Copies of this chain bind each other. A is one copy, B any other.
Amino acid sequence: MPRAVRERQMLDAAVRTFARHGYRAASMDRIAELAGVSKPLVYLYLHSKDELFTACIRREAGALVAAVRAGVEPGLPADRQLWDGLTAFFTHTAENPDGWSVLHSQARTHGEPFAAEVAAMRAEITAFVNHLIGDAARAARCDPHLADREVAGLGEALVGAAESLAAWANDTPGVTARDAAATLMNFAWPGLENLMKGERWSASAGFRPPAGSARTPGPPAP
């Protein structure tokens, strides 16, 4: 059996095991058994548990980024691209729950070497979103003044909301995936649109955050 095939089997088994049990609780024995090969062969190809984990992260990160890229058509309007990109993202993570778990839950909770690997992927996606928002802003002839960091924060918020909704939809009878998606768009879209136009909540109609409260200092002045 050719090496490439064997390696893919091993990575499949590893991703699944790491996702289900976590990095530490996943044993090389189990992975080798699940892959249908002997343990020394895993070491021959992947060298160590750390390298195996890193290989998993890299493969899953690459697949996710590729899926998002493939879902987006560059020529289309920015809002359409965003919708397509988000949909591709959620579709891919839904179809590869183990891979997503490795990236999102496992890699980030096990120290620098692995977190850095995910950070690279994250930067790629953030840049993509940033680009889109910038395009949209330019098309609307606004200067959104969105720092990379702010974009990253929005990405975090969006992903967090989406994950939370996915779990909620799964646990609440009668709530469909489409309900969840619609809720998310209703929830998030107006805010994103505002930000693309350079508008922020603290400047919005009527509300003024309390300036002097010790317990709850107001947001940065607009």
Contacts and interface: CB of A to CB of B under 8 A. Distances in A.
A79 B207 contact: yes
Interface of A is mostly: helix
B178 A154 contact: no
Contacts of A181: 219
Interface in A102-161: 105-106, 108-111, 149-150, 152-154, 156-161
Interface stretch (A3-11, A34-42, A47-55, A83-91): A83-91
A185 B91 contact: no
Given A153-B180, A160-B162, A162-B160, A201 B189 contact: yes
Q: Which size bracket describes the interface of A in this complex? A: 35 or more
Contacts of A110: 22, 25
A96 interface: no
A84 B186 contact: no
Interface string A22-62: 11110000000000000000000000000000000000000
A198 to B, nearest CB: 11
Contact of A186 (B101, B165, B195, B207): B195
A201 B207 CA distance: 22
Contacts of A195: 186-187
A178 B219 contact: yes
Contacts of A23: 22, 24
Nearest to A90: B216
Given A160-B161, A209-B83, A215-B88, A183 B202 contact: no
Contact of A216 (B79, B84, B190): B84
A185 B24 contact: no
A157 to B, nearest CB: 4
Q: Which 5 A-B pairs have the closest CB atoms?
A: A160-B164, A24-B24, A190-B190, A87-B216, A182-B219
13 contacts: A101-B109, A105-B105, A152-B168, A154-B187, A156-B164, A157-B183, A158-B187, A161-B161, A181-B219, A182-B201, A182-B202, A185-B219, A190-B191
